[in-house]
Amino acid sequence: MLVCLCALAWLTTGYAQPGDPGIPILVYHRFSDTPDDSMTVRVTTFEAQLRFLNEHGYHIVPLRDAVNALRDPAAKLPPKPVVVTVDDGHRSVYEKLLPIVLRDHFPVTLFIYPSAISNASYALTWEQLRSLKQTGWFDIQSHTYWHPNFNVERRHRSPADFRQFVHWQLNASRQRIESETGVHADMLAWPFGIHDEELAALAADDGYVAAFTLEARKANRQMPLLALPRFLMVDAYGPRALAHLLGDADTPPLSVARSAQ
């Protein structure tokens, strides 16, 4: 995975303020009652994480608000902000996550790739996505059109063809999402977390204002807006392991292995 260190003005967020603790952005994929695979988080684990966040003074904020705060030092967020995002548009968002969101009232940003929606058996439908948006708690953003591996595509294409391919993935995704749901789609989750300076420049050309990776650290104002990090959440992150991940000084550190017991 390449780290975008682009110095161009439209990719940077300005200077970090002294003592700025950063904003943790969490990324989930699937939810289930059982640990079906490495990307599935059990509902019981997720609810334990939510209880931890609530009991330790965290506030789940919309991703859009977090991005605005990273762009503008004058923008205000509540103490200890944290963001919840979910990639891929798995149907468990509707079946498992939605009831929890409606009960606890917290914002979620979904990054979806339209080729799967209403097509793949594992995926949400456009009707479900519209229903999620209508709750007021879900934002819907781009994960490209069909989740390609840009490293693989670059090896098999000429430079010009690769740039055209990336533009199509970014534009087709945004246009389909906007036409089906009515949202303004200008944020992007990089498939597999793959990103570099060329990809960031192409995303900026296509009107994306922020894009997100899978690097496990907090986002702050020193980082490029088109390469903001997120913590990949797995079922092993019980409350104490999550506290350690977030660097919460109020909770004693505990290994992921022990927290899963």
The pLDDT tens digits for 14-61 are: 323 445 679 999 999 999 999 989 999 999 999 999 999 999 999 999
- At residue 261, the pLDDT reads 33
Candidates 127, 97, 121; CA nearest to 110 is: 97
Candidates 215, 236, 154, 200; CA nearest to 5 is: 200
**168 vs 187: CA distance, rounded Å:** 16
Helix (H) or strand (E) holding 69: helix 63-71
- At residue 13, the pLDDT reads 38
- At residue 133, the pLDDT reads 98
Structure tokens at 118: 């209403």
- Which residue type does 50 have? L
- The residue ranges of the chain whose pLDDT is under 70 are 1-20, 249-261
Helix (H) or strand (E) holding 87: strand 81-87
Candidates 209, 167, 214, 202; CA nearest to 188 is: 209
Q: Is the pTM of this model over 0.85?
A: yes
The pLDDT tens digits for 92-107 are: 999 999 999 999 999 9
- At residue 184, the pLDDT reads 97
- At residue 21, the pLDDT reads 77
| CATH code, residues 9-259 | 3.20.20.370
**93 vs 84: CA distance, rounded Å:** 12
Phi, psi values for residue 110, rounded to 5°: -100, 130
Q: Where are the chain's structural domains? A: 9-259
Helix (H) or strand (E) holding 48: helix 43-55
